[in-house]
Amino acid sequence: MATTPRQRPQRTDRPSAAPTTPSPESSASAPTPATTPATTPATTPGVTPAVGATIYSVAERAGVSIATVSRVLQGRAVVSEATRQKVLEAVESLHYVPLGAARSLAVRHHEAYGLVIPELTGPYYSELLMGFETRAAELGQSVILLLANGKSDVPGAVGHLATRVDGIAVLGSAALPPTLARALRGRKPVVVIAGSSPHVPGGDSVELVAAENVHSAEQLTAHVLDHGRSRLLYVGDPDPAPDISERYAGFVAAHAARGLVAAEPVRVPFRESEGVAVADRILSGELEADALVCANDELALSIMTRLQDAGRDVPGDIAVVGWDDVMTSRYVRPGMTTVRQPVHELGVLAAERLHQRVDGAAPLPAPVLLPTEVVLRGSCGCPTP
């Protein structure tokens, strides 16, 4: 077996330093006329050289082996202070930037997590993302963001994402999870955020984290009923999003607890323009209600404002409550009664669970639920401070 060992072929930018020529220091400058210091590569100034320094060039420059370079860069093994300095200098003068892909290949980890969300309008997604990125970074992981809305081939995009991450977190409030489950077939750990168990296929490799919805929705609805309102309408479409449907369930439950039967939901998308349309249907008499429980604040705000502009009194004529506690809800008059979710924590939790899973932990059998908080302001009928 003592055949010629595999020997790295000579690279164009590296002189053929034969192993029989152990010139200790700058063997790189040998073939080059020693006019300019080797620090400046012979490229047009201001232009990134086509190929950067590698661990080999650094090792050569420092007069050590690539293993040693790797050691000082990883900071793992012990290296003598002298050689460490030589290496660091070489790194510096060569402007060495390691190639992440090569490391990933060697360590068999991408050291990155994917996050799939529909878009980024409103504070919900942003806070989620901030929580996720923050925790992921603490755990030494990069985050690759995939915005699903507007992508023509979401399954394809998710598949591509799977190619470069160790795990994926996905927002359940969309048609994403089924798509994703199909695209992944359990090959990567998945954490579904704000989804609900029945909606998530491929269940054995996915895990759920969410904010509590049913109970707080019931609580909020009960509060509105306590204000003496009797004709409540739920505004929002429970079908596509598990969390919205859970909130509607709470709405129904609050009615049932008093022997009342809840009205069917007013199914509209989450757009401000839709809120205006709903308000108009109320103004025209098509819809009758003395209180509106809206699936989110955007809807609630646009409805309330439109109603007010048309001369209706909120909450006098009609109460309006939302969900999410966006900034605007603090600024409008009356203040919007709403529910605050621990969205940031949800992101943190998702990153955390993903990390556990990638580390080999089994998925938690039951979803992790984070508590929410009802925020009472004026729009529900509470006295304004």
Which residues here bind DNA, judged by CB under 7 A? 5-9, 11, 19, 51, 54-56, 63-68, 70-71, 73-74, 76-80, 82-84, 96, 98-99, 102-103, 105-108
Residue 45 interacting with a copy of itself (CB under 8 A): yes
Q: Does 188 bind a copy of itself (CB under 8 A)?
A: yes
Length of the chain: 385
The bridge status of strand 368-370 relative to strand 319-321 is unpaired
Number of Cβ atoms within 10 Å of the Cβ of 372 = 22
Q: Map residues 142-171 to x or -, x wherever contact with a copy of itself holds by CB under 8 A.
A: xxxxxx--xx-----x-xxxxxx-------
Let me know: does 262 contact 255? Beta carbons within 8 Å: yes
- Which CB sits closer to a copy of itself, 89 or 226? 89
Q: Which of 130, 222, 276, 277 binds a copy of itself (CB under 8 A)?
A: 130
- 260 part of the interface to a copy of itself, by CB under 8 A: no
| Among 303, 298, 375, 307, residue whose Cα is nearest residue 341 | 375
| Alpha-carbon torsion angle 306, 310, 315, 318, nearest 10 | -90
- Residue 96 or 113 with smaller CB distance to DNA: 96
Chain position carrying tokens 């129904």:
252
Q: Encode 272-292: b = buried (16+ Cβ within 10 Å), e = exposed.
A: eebbbebbeebeeeebebbbb
- Tell me: does residue 35 bind a copy of itself (CB under 8 A): no
For the bound state, the minimum distance from the C-beta of residue 327 to a copy of itself, rounded and expressed in Å, comes to: 6
Please, which residue, 97 or 257, has the CB nearer to a copy of itself?
Answer: 97
Closest separation in Å from C-beta 37 to DNA: 22
Which helix (H) or strand (E) covers residue 344, if one does?
A: helix 343-358
CA distance 229 to 3: 89
Could you say which residues in the range 50-79 bind a copy of itself, by CB under 8 A? 51-52
By CB under 8 A, is residue 257 in contact with a copy of itself?
A: no
In sequence order, what are the residues at sequence separation of 6 or more whose Cβ sits closer than 8 angstroms to the Cβ of residue 80?
A: none
Question: What CA–CA distance (Å, rounded) separates 32 from 123?
Answer: 58
Query: Closest by alpha carbon to 239, among 194, 296, 199?
Result: 199
Instruction: Report the DSSP beta bridge partners of residue 167.
Output: 113
30's contact among DNA, a copy of itself, none, with CB below 5 to 8 A by partner kind, is none
Q: Among 31, 100, 316, 371, which residue sits at the site for a copy of itself (rule: CB under 8 A)?
A: 100
95 contact, one of a copy of itself, DNA, none, CB 5-8 Å limit per kind:
a copy of itself
Determine the Cα–Cα distance for residues 319 and 229; give it in Å rounded to an integer: 8
Using the minimum distance from each CB to DNA, give the nearer residue, 49 or 228.
49
Instruction: Return the residue of 126, 215, 267, 364 that touches a copy of itself, per CB under 8 A.
Output: 126
Residues near a copy of itself (CB under 8 A) are: 3-4, 6, 45-48, 51-52, 95, 97-105, 108, 110, 112, 119-121, 123, 125-127, 129-130, 133-134, 137, 142-147, 150-151, 157, 159-164, 184-189, 204-205, 301, 305, 327-328, 331-333, 362
